[in-house]
Amino acid sequence: MNDTYVLVHGAWHTGGLLEPTAEYIRQQGHTVHCPTLKGNRVGDDRSHIGLEDAAQSVCDYLREHDLTSVRLVGHSYGGMVISRVADVMPERIARLVYVNAFVPNPGECLNDMVPPHYKQLFDAVAAASNNAVMLPFPIWREAFINDADMALAQSAFNQLNLQPYKTFTDPISLKAPLAELAIGKSYVNCLQDTAMPHSMPWHPRLSERLGLFRLVECQGSHEIWFTDPATIADAIIRAGRD
């Protein structure tokens, strides 16, 4: 069966960085789109773009490309985005797939779900950078891409872009908790992901908010898109089937 996947990247990324994974999914006969969110595009004014702007850019993409029965996949911050898209246009979505992604309750922002030390770091960086944030390389290397050698970690880091901080601080608008949403849901958990402390795990702390969901686990770090695109492609297909 030819399914349609839309891969929604996380903070600091672009859709193009997910293309190696998309290519593996396409090799299995599926259609894959990798849009870049508003706020992460060249020339975007990162001082004021927020979560709603990013989510609406995906809604616009689905409309412009007339996409239906979509497997909408969100990585990390992308979980905030796909949650809002599903709230706005559930009729276009066949299944939501969260890849080590944030799963918000109504009215929550991303910063409500991260450790206090991250929020303190981002507050300080944003205050000095016109309300945009970037990860320091040492945190990226050890916590986000811990399964890469130094050369890959550095080359991947060099491809990231500043993130509008409002996308982290804006509360999400949802009509109801995601567990009540009548759409299939899956959670992909990369087992070596240490981007958040293991005392604040991606799964089950956030995945359980989905209510009934399919769990798929695989080996890899938070940035498996760079380190093992074939493995994350396989996990996404298993998460997205039927």
Q: Residue 22 pLDDT > 90, yes or no?
A: yes
Q: Report the pLDDT averaged over residues 61-80.
A: 98
pLDDT score, position 130: 97
Q: How far apart are CA 170 and CA 80, in angstroms?
A: 10
pLDDT score, position 1: 75
Q: Is 202 helix (H, G, I), strand (E, B) or coil?
A: coil
Q: What is the mean pLDDT of the chain?
A: 98
Give the pLDDT confidence of 197-216 residue by residue, as tens digits: 999 999 999 999 999 999 99
128, burial (CB in 10 Å: exposed 0-12, middle 13-18, buried 19+): exposed
Beta strands 163-164 and 132-133 are antiparallel
Q: What is the DSSP string of 94-157?
A: EEEEEES---PPTT--GGGGS-HHHHHHHHHHHHHTTTEE---HHHIIIIISTTS-HHHHHHHH
Domain ranges of the chain: 4-240
Q: By percentage, how much of the chain surpasses pLDDT 70?
A: 100
- Fold of the CATH domain 4-240: Rossmann fold (3.40.50)
Assigned token pair, 157: 């880091």
H or E segment and range at residue 215:
strand 214-218
134, burial (CB in 10 Å: exposed 0-12, middle 13-18, buried 19+): middle
Q: Report the pLDDT averaged over residues 180-206.
A: 97
Q: Are 212 and 183 in contact (CB under 8 A)?
A: no
Residue with tokens 């992909």: 188
Q: Are 187 and 178 in contact (CB under 8 A)?
A: no
H or E segment and range at residue 165:
none
pLDDT band, residue 146 (cuts 50/70/90): very high
Q: Are 96 and 120 in contact (CB under 8 A)?
A: no
DSSP state of 143: I
Q: Report the pLDDT averaged over residues 153-175.
A: 98
Q: 155 to each of 141, 206, 227, how far by Cα in Å?
A: 11, 30, 11
